[in-house]
Amino acid sequence: MPDQNPHDDAEFCVPVSSVNDIVTARMQGRVLAEQLGFSSGEATLVATAISELARNIVQYASNGDIVVRSITNGTKRGIVVVARDRGPGIVDLKLAVRSGYSTSGGLGLGLPGVRRIVDDFQIVSDRQAGTTVTVTKWRS
């Protein structure tokens, strides 16, 4: 019998094409995290991760979307954030997740920083299909 929880299907999608969408995406992410019982500190980490991922979309791909949904693993509750774009793709994935590396003159904290504040981090990039970053944060 699967865990029947009212938030199991909680999901939202924010199309990201301008800097204003970054704020919308992270605010919605925080609301969902708080609904799922994440602490204020954890919700801040979720919102911060969404902010960085959404910014990457605007900066490198100009548009894409952020999909956020809740997941359950046994008694564990979590949030999955999927950031996908149809941009030019990332040439060197290893380099892109290395701390301090940036092609845009930024701090180079974007992807490596996100990787540090989530529990699971997956990135798939293709020169034709764009980049998809999937991160998971479990509630403590």
Summarize as ranges the residues that interact with another protein (CB under 8 A). 19-20, 22-23, 26-27, 30, 40-41, 44-45, 47-48, 51-52, 55, 99, 106-107, 109-110, 112-114, 116-117
β-pair partners for 135: 81, 121
Report the C-alpha gap between 20 and 42 in whole angstroms: 23
As measured in angstroms, the least distance from the Cβ of 45 to another protein is 5
With respect to another protein, which residue has the nearer C-beta, 62 or 72?
62
Phi, psi of 104 (to 5 degrees): -110, 5
With respect to another protein, which residue has the nearer C-beta, 8 or 31?
31
Report the C-alpha gap between 29 and 33 in whole angstroms: 6
As measured in angstroms, the least distance from the Cβ of 73 to another protein is 23
As measured in angstroms, the least distance from the Cβ of 20 to another protein is 5
With respect to another protein, which residue has the nearer C-beta, 25 or 82?
25
Q: What's the burial of 136, exposed, middle or buried (CB within 10 Å: 0-12/13-18/19+)? A: middle
8 A C-beta contact, residue 9 and residue 67: no
With respect to another protein, which residue has the nearer C-beta, 84 or 115?
115
